[in-house]
Structure 1
Amino acid sequence: MIISVDHGNKSIKTPRLLFTSGLIESDTRPGIKTDCIFWNGKYYTLTEKRISYLRDKTEDDRFYVLTLFAIAKELELDGIMEPDEELDITLLVGLPPAHYGQLYSRFEQYFLRKREVVDFEYNGRYYSIRITKVVSYTQALAAAVTKYGELKKHAASYIIDIGGYTVDVLKLRYGKPDLAVVESFEQGVITLYNSIASQCNSQFALHLEDCDIDEVIRGEPTILPGEVQILIRKMANQFLTELCNFLGERGIDLKVSKCVFAGGGSMLLRSIIERSDKVGFPIFIDDIHANAQGYLLLYKSEEAAHGSK
């Protein structure tokens, strides 16, 4: 079975699922009914409080357990509950463009675990899986694959994937990567959340969560005072201005370039990007699942090519 997982610093995505990259570990079963995994002698539940940024997600087992949740949820969607035999899994994953060469081998081995059988309990049902193959791809490029039919028409374009902690930038020529620009900058929306939370705590003695900030930026109903909303919107606009200036200093002029925005951060900031005079020709990949879908499209394309030889 093939399962594609996009491991974001803010959220975990599969082609069909989305949940926060947050985890609570306990020695005892949770007292309230919630999604729960029992693995390796510990109970794990999901939380909306995300894990602090990890450049190398193999530092501990948390992203492995989040992947078990993704696998279990995908199996559940397919009606596979408590199977009678071990399931072999081909896992598709991705890394930021600038981190790929350094981290992909370690990332793949982190999930392979010597191809040993992994037994775990998910919501009272028992699963035995073996991850037999892990294939890693480049984030941003994978998202672009979902729009290849449109991007191949342009002589030059940029994919700008604004994620939780990284902003990945990739130049394309007629839809194919131009290795002259393959960058990952640690300036994603988590840095914006942290700045806003710090300012609101300092000025208004309020402790905001990411979801509180999201509501204001998206223009959704909120109970936050008007002065707090003004501050949040001001800082979000400053964030985009600083990002555009930062990219401009590196020779990426968003005013004159065809820019394709992907990632959850781009979706969050879409209305600000569209109003900005810093971005001339924005195109949006609206699907938060685009990277995970792209991994799957790339893998199937590769398999078809190998099969035709």
Structure 2
Amino acid sequence: MIIGIDHGYSAMKTKHCCFPSGVTAYEHEPYTNRGVLQYEGSYYVCGTGRQPLIRTKTENQNYYLLTLAAIAQEIRFRGAPAKADVVLAAGLPLTTFGREKKNFREYLLGKKNPAVFRYEGVSYEIRISDVKLFPQGYSVMSVHPEVFAGEPSVLLVDIGGWTLDLMRLDNGVPNAATCRSLELGVIRCQEEAMEIVRRDTGLSVTEAQVEQVLNGKRCSVSEEAGRIIRQAGSAYTQRILSAVMESGFDLQAVPSVFVGGGAGLFKRYVTPQDRLCRLVTLPDVNLNAAGFERLAGQMMKR
């Protein structure tokens, strides 16, 4: 079976599942069974907070452990057997795709194949028979081709946890010379909002609370803290607009498609005064993983 996985700094996503990308190791069996991965004699709670920033995702075994947890969650969702052959479909930023592709593929294949582990009390034996890698963001075309239909040029903006990836498509083909990856993901907005709230009110709000307010959902923070967080969201949107313009793209001239976890936030805070040419937002956080899966399926059919 083909399983698409989007390895984010904030969250791990498959086609049907999503959980925070943090990993906490335990020497002994932890207090809860939720999110617990037992692998090679150790226990790991997957889904606690988010992954700290690292230069490459292959520096330690955390993303491999998270991959096993993601496979288990997706298999459980599908009602598939716990002993299975799996083709992994994953992604990398287009700007580093060629440099990181070989190492990331070998990393996901794992040193021991099949991988034998337990997740939330269920035993799994997973043989990763192949790994297909694709550019992040670009996979959206396979899921929503209608978004690009009839447009000779479209700017694709993928707002992730840590990076903001920019890519212009000309007649459906990525223009490699235009690809940019900026460290301007949603985590920056959340951290700045937390700092301003702490400085101006003395309150130490959490990332989860900030995320809730930014998404326009109810949260029991003070009215002043909520106002500051919303102002930070508006300021973050303007920073994105400025960064895109400084990277050589004119959002008032070229249609733009915003994807990723930050797409909904961007849509919420952009204003008519920004005079964007045509804005399409696809805030489904599982979209990249679904795209990877579909592209891998098309390759295997060919």
Same-fold status (TM-score > 0.5):
yes
Give the CA deviation at 1:95. Answer: 0.8
Q: Distance in 2 between matches of 1:102 and 1:206?
A: 43
Q: What does residue 17 of structure 1 align with?
A: 17
Q: Distance in 1 between matches of 2:272 and 2:7?
A: 30
Inter-CA distance 66–278: structure 2 relative to 1 (3 Å threshold): farther
Residue 261 in structure 1 maps to residue 258 in structure 2: yes
Q: What does residue 36 of structure 1 align with?
A: 36
Q: TM-score, normalised by structure 2?
A: 0.94
**What CA RMSD, in Å, does the superposition of the two structures yield over aligned residues?**
1.7
Contact 1:214 1:268 in 2 (8 A): no
Residue 210 in structure 1 maps to residue 212 in structure 2: no
- Identify which of 145, 157, 160 aligns with 1:160: 157
Q: Distance in 2 between matches of 1:194 and 1:37?
A: 29
Contact 1:156 1:173 in 2 (8 A): yes
Residue 194 in structure 1 maps to residue 197 in structure 2: no
Deviations 1:46-81 (A, max 9, x none): 334111122311111111111111111112123235
Q: What does residue 80 of structure 1 align with?
A: 80
Contact 2:35 2:47 in 1 (8 A): no
Q: What does residue 146 of structure 2 align with?
A: 149
Secondary structure of the 1:106 match is: helix
Deviations 1:164-222 (A, max 9, x none): 00011110122221223111111101111111112222222222222211222222112
Give the CA deviation at 1:275. Answer: 4.9
Secondary structure of the 1:269 match is: helix
Inter-CA distance 131–259: structure 2 relative to 1 (3 Å threshold): same
Inter-CA distance 45–61: structure 2 relative to 1 (3 Å threshold): same
Residue 280 in structure 1 maps to residue 288 in structure 2: no
Residue 133 in structure 1 maps to residue 119 in structure 2: no
Contact 1:144 1:159 in 2 (8 A): no
Report sequence identity in percent: 28
Q: Distance in 2 between matches of 1:48 and 1:226?
A: 28
Name stretches of at least 5 consecutive residues in structure 1 with no aligned partner: none
Question: Which residue type is aligned with residue 242 of structure 1?
Answer: R
Secondary structure of the 2:86 match is: strand
Q: Distance in 2 between matches of 1:74 and 1:145?
A: 20
Q: What does residue 167 of structure 2 align with?
A: 170
Q: What does residue 45 of structure 1 align with?
A: 45
Question: Which residue type is aligned with residue 231 of structure 1?
Answer: I
Inter-CA distance 146–274: structure 2 relative to 1 (3 Å threshold): farther
Contact 2:215 2:264 in 1 (8 A): no
Question: Which residue type is aligned with residue 191 of structure 1?
Answer: R
Give the CA deviation at 1:274. Answer: 5.2
Q: Distance in 2 between matches of 1:192 and 1:68?
A: 30
Q: What does residue 226 of structure 2 align with?
A: 229
Inter-CA distance 250–78: structure 2 relative to 1 (3 Å threshold): closer
Give the CA deviation at 1:82. Answer: 4.5
Q: Distance in 1 between matches of 2:149 and 2:171?
A: 4
Q: Distance in 1 between matches of 2:140 and 2:86?
A: 22
Q: Distance in 1 between matches of 2:271 and 2:282?
A: 13
Inter-CA distance 239–227: structure 2 relative to 1 (3 Å threshold): same
Q: What does residue 301 of structure 2 align with?
A: 304
**Number of matched pairs:** 302
